Amino acid sequence: MSDTAKVNLLGLNRQALEAFFVELGEKPFRARQLMQWVHQRGITDFNLMTDLSKVLREKLQSAAEVSLPEVCLDQKSADGTHKWLLHVDGVDNAIECVLIPEKNRQTLCISSQVGCTLNCSFCSTAKQGFNRNLTSAEIIGQLYLAHHALLREGSDKGITNVVMMGMGEPLLNYDAVMAALDIMGDDFAYGLSKRRVTISTAGVVPAIKQLRESTDVSLAVSLHAPNNELRDQLVPLNRKYPIKELLAACREYVQGHNRRRITFEYVMLKDINDSLEHARQLVKLLSDIPSKLNLIPFNPYPHAIYQCSDQATIDRFRDYVVSKGIVTVTRKTRGDDIDAACGQLVGRVKDKSRRSQKYQLSLEKLTGQVNAAN
Ligand code: SAH
């Protein structure tokens, strides 16, 4: 069998992996063993999986593989933020994932698509257009790489939280994202509780409804504007699913799950959505939804048409919404020295050729440093 026909076991959830083993004429429990080898021990070579018989290992060699996205660049920021640039089709497509270390948790921000179809006017990913959906293996591969890098550095728990806030719209790549979520939550893989996994969406209403039926991960909604007129401009998806429908889906999502709140993300754009009048409208919208508000200082990038609100304006906005009883956090900007801050993923440069040139330069610099150190 040729390599291309091999099944990549990395992206199969337990159910799919059990079906795979049954097809090979094996017992379903092999799926649990394999998941532990791969996701918990970081072993991808079937030959090293010593509790599988030699015959089974040979069968696996010919029918399957465990194939990871290729790390093209691996950078650490002065504040500890760690970014990986990963190649998914040879050098044709690149995605990024970012690890944000904090005292008691290690949060990984992962991508769900190469590029994005939604074209939000303030987002740098939008500028590169849409290339394709990631497979479940490419999504979970980001967690694999970051988790095992942390363990190698001596961390005892590895990644503790995942946010799907990298490139792409996770709810427009539903099946692959769901398979990856299964693996994140599986006790034989990463065992992350649903509370520790957050899907961020620009508001794909039918998919929010579907999500409610099948899982109870935390939901973050990129609201960014308190009325349809403005939101139509910032998040064009609003023309299809306007605020009223979106908030109805959010209300439904939290129903019957009292502990759950929706996180609303609101990017602070100077003179666009940051006045006290906007704050008043926002408070009205959120008054009957269990919610938490995340104010995100806009991260600029070359050719951006917006600026970040100044600190005093952000504080005034925050103080107003807090005074009305809305739990609010102003997000800290992390890792901006390595372009890892929100909205900067990959999109630092305009076109792909210049992008690869830049990474080639960074790679040469890094390689030079490594060589000099040796
Ligand atoms: N498509 C999903 C997830 C990806 S974006 C979504 O829309 O939620 C993750 C978050 O970063 C979103 O809230 C997005 O609006 C925000 N974001 C994008 N570009 C940004 C920028 N330049 N500055 C600050 N936040 C940005």
DSSP string, 59-87: HHHHHEE--PPEEEEEEE-TTS-EEEEEE
| Structure tokens given for 15 | 């159910």
55 and 134 fall within a common domain: no
209 and 115 fall within a common domain: yes
Q: Is residue 278 part of a domain?
A: yes
Query: How high is the pLDDT of residue 215?
Result: 86
Pick the residue whose CA is nearest to atom 8 on ligand 1: 201
Question: Best substitution site from 265, 292, 307 to test ligand 1's pocket, by max atoms within 8 Å of Cβ?
Answer: 265
Query: Closest Cα to residue 200, out of 178, 170, 159, 226?
Result: 170
Q: Is residue 125 part of a domain?
A: yes
28 and 129 fall within a common domain: no
Query: How high is the pLDDT of residue 340?
Result: 66
Cβ neighbour number for residue 373 with a 10 Å cutoff: 6
Domain limits at 264? 70-359
37 and 76 fall within a common domain: no
Q: How far is CA 171 from CA 7, 117, 282, in A?
A: 25, 12, 24
Ligand 1 site, residue 265, Cβ cutoff 6 A? yes
CB contact set of 263 (below 8 Å; sequence gap of 6+): 198, 218, 219, 220, 221, 291, 292, 293, 294
Q: Is residue 374 part of a domain?
A: no
Q: Is residue 192 part of a domain?
A: yes
pLDDT, tens digit only, all 374 positions of the chain? 455 589 999 999 999 999 999 999 999 999 999 999 999 999 999 999 999 999 999 999 999 999 999 999 999 988 889 999 999 987 788 999 999 999 999 999 999 999 999 999 999 888 889 999 999 999 999 999 999 999 999 999 999 999 999 999 999 999 999 999 999 999 999 999 989 999 999 999 999 999 998 888 999 999 999 999 999 999 999 999 999 999 999 999 998 765 589 999 999 999 999 999 999 999 999 999 999 999 999 999 888 999 999 999 999 999 999 999 999 999 887 776 767 666 565 654 334 434 444 433 433 333 333 333 32
61 and 74 fall within a common domain: no
The CATH number covering residue 54 comes to 1.10.150.530
Query: How high is the pLDDT of residue 59?
Result: 96
**342 in active site:** yes
Q: What is the DSSP letter of 199?
A: E
For the entire predicted model, the pTM comes to: 0.90
**70 in active site:** no
8 A C-beta contact, residue 171 and residue 201:
yes
Q: Is residue 368 part of a domain?
A: no
28 and 153 fall within a common domain: no
Q: Is the Cα dihedral 57, 58, 62, 68 positive or negative?
A: positive
49 and 79 fall within a common domain: no
Query: How high is the pLDDT of residue 342?
Result: 60
Query: How high is the pLDDT of residue 63?
Result: 96
Q: Is residue 51 part of a domain?
A: yes
Last residue of a domain, one of 39, 65, 91: 65
Last residue of a domain, one of 48, 65, 82: 65
Please state the φ and ψ torsions of residue 165, each to the nearest 5 degrees. Answer: -130, 20
Ligand 1 site, residue 124, Cβ cutoff 6 A? yes
228 and 283 fall within a common domain: yes
45: CA distance to ligand 1 center in Å? Answer: 37
Query: How high is the pLDDT of residue 37?
Result: 98
Query: How high is the pLDDT of residue 126?
Result: 87
Last residue of a domain, one of 65, 100, 117: 65
Query: Closest Cα to residue 86, out of 68, 108, 66, 71?
Result: 71
Atom of ligand 1 nearest to the CA of 221: 8
Q: Is residue 38 part of a domain?
A: yes
Q: How many domains does the chain have?
A: 2
26 and 107 fall within a common domain: no
245 and 128 fall within a common domain: yes
102 and 200 fall within a common domain: yes
Q: Is residue 369 part of a domain?
A: no
The CATH number covering residue 262 comes to 3.20.20.70
120 and 200 fall within a common domain: yes
